[in-house]
Amino acid sequence: MIVAPDTTALRRHIRELEDGSRRIAFVPTMGNLHAGHLALVTQAQACADAVVVSIFVNPMQFAAHEDLDKYPRTLDADLAALESIGVDVVFTPTVTDVYPEGVEAHTAIHVPVLGDVLCGRERPGHFDGVCTVVYKLLEMVKPDVAVFGEKDLQQLLIIKKMVNDLNLDIDVHSGPTQRAADGLALSSRNQYLTADERAIAPKLWETLQTCAGQLRSAAGLEGGSILDVARASLAQAGFAVDYLELRVLSTLAESESLSEDCALFVAARLGQTRLIDNIQIAAA
């Protein structure tokens, strides 16, 4: 496994892969890798000859009051995990390498509509930072395929639109959400939970499943009240709910029925930890 610490080294190794006519898959991460990340890498290996993984905690997607400074950084463990599953190249750039003139002076990419709701509404500027760094990484790596997880479903939809709108010649693949045995979606932020909060956290997925079942049975007549009850249930369990909403998958427009393929999206806080999850629901 090759570790490329800057863009110069990355480009040299990418050229070597391209000279061998190897199909390249790319998995961008912010490190602190868990089984969910490694599942994406395994998926990438199945559809390409070589896999590049980036590890970069992107300051552009964090607001001033968010957890950039305390975001867990575990580079040595991450490299060991990636080497154990046969990753070809790991790109570990510095902030200066990605943003030579600083984040504030850097051009940003904004995906309208899809990026303005849900987490885009609750975290203004977040998806601009995500899209900007993903675009830059895609241009640096020049992969044939990029793999993103469905746990961040809104992010996945936004990236797909960005790739399409900007005519990038890249196939975007999605990987299913990986979960703990009790249903909690795997996330680097789960480690922030106290023992008591961790015991409560699986109710997020349980609530999404219950809501999805009720919506399928409601024939489009009770969507609003179903979600109201679910929000109240989460609040009673100790969550501070940012949103729990049913959205049309193609547009992220609000919906109260399953007349189109939809997803339930939730973001809620337990103590200081913000958790997100989703469940996709086919049209009735």
| Partners of 175 in beta bridges | 149
Phi then psi for residue 212, to 5 deg, are -60, -45
Q: Is 65 a catalytic residue?
A: no
Query: What's the CA gap between 10 and 17, in Å, rounded?
Result: 11
Query: What's the CA gap between 103 and 2, in Å, rounded?
Result: 28
Query: What's the CA gap between 215 and 209, in Å, rounded?
Result: 10
Query: What's the CA gap between 84 and 5, in Å, rounded?
Result: 19
DSSP 121-132: HHSTTHHHHHHH
How large is the C-alpha radius of gyration of the chain? Answer: 19
Contact between 17 and 99 (Cβ < 8 Å): no
Tokens of 187: 């996330």
Q: Which residues contact 1 (CB under 8 A, 6 or more apart)?
A: 79, 82, 83, 86, 87, 88, 89, 90
Catalytic residue among 13, 37, 126, 173: 37
Amino acid at the residue 100: P
Enzyme catalytic residues: 37
